[in-house]
Amino acid sequence: MSEAKIFEKWSTDDVEVHDIGLRGYINITPKYVPHTGGRHEHRRFMKSRVSIVERLINKMQNPGRNSGKKIKATNIVKLAFEIINLKTGQNPIQILVNAVENAAPREETTRISYGGIVYHQAVDVAPMRRVDLALRFITNAARKSTFSNQKTVEECLADELIAAANNETKSAAISKKEEKERIAVSVR
């Protein structure tokens, strides 16, 4: 029996999560089709068991044009993985994991009301929220860069993932993360 590969192409055997804090929250178990059908949504912290590829697909669905169109979002991610493989020659799952690790903010601010006055205070970010924010930053950056541009959303997503995986400042996800951390440092 052959081993399951994501999109029947990409193996997860050699994929590593380097960030120790995110190891339990970035799931890279191989599946033929990354589609759980929402079986995780009614139990707390179960989305950490959903494959990181499926979570990226789900983030590509909302909001706007692709909301609710899982097949369209799946095809976007599949083509973006093909482009990543052609550009870098590396496993696109590893590029995705590196991009999520690099784009995940470690610190942000929260509002605290004290005696009728609102203060901002720096707090550490929970690992699940770090992954959620990183995926949101990546998908929003891909969506924004395709607006008024000749590039397709697949090309923009591939470029954003590669830039975030390389920790480049031209990546909108990395700059968003740095902005959040800079604000947190200023209110500390």
- DSSP 3-state of 125: coil
For the chain, what are the domain ranges? 20-104+127-174
The label of the residue with tokens 């993360």 reads: 177
β-bridge mates for residue 45, sequence order:
none
Give residue 1's pLDDT: 42
Q: At what angle do helices 172-186 and 92-103 cross, to 10 degrees?
A: 20
Q: Which amino acid is at 69?
A: K
34 Cβ contact list (under 8 Å, min separation 6)? 6, 51, 53, 54, 57, 74
Residue 27 has phi, psi (to 5 degrees) of -95, 125
Give per-residue pLDDT as tens, 83-142.
Answer: 999 999 999 999 999 999 999 999 999 998 888 898 889 999 999 999 999 999 999 999
CATH code, 20-104+127-174: 1.10.455.10
Q: Are 12 and 93 in contact (CB under 8 A)?
A: yes
The label of the residue with tokens 């923009």 reads: 156
Q: Are 149 and 156 in contact (CB under 8 A)?
A: yes
- DSSP 3-state of 182: helix
Q: For residues 42 and 101, give the distance between their C-alpha atoms in angstroms, rounded to a whole number.
A: 26
In the 8-state DSSP scheme, what is residue 2? Answer: P
Work out the average pLDDT over 175-185: 93
Give per-residue pLDDT as tens, 45-64.
Answer: 888 888 899 999 989 987 77
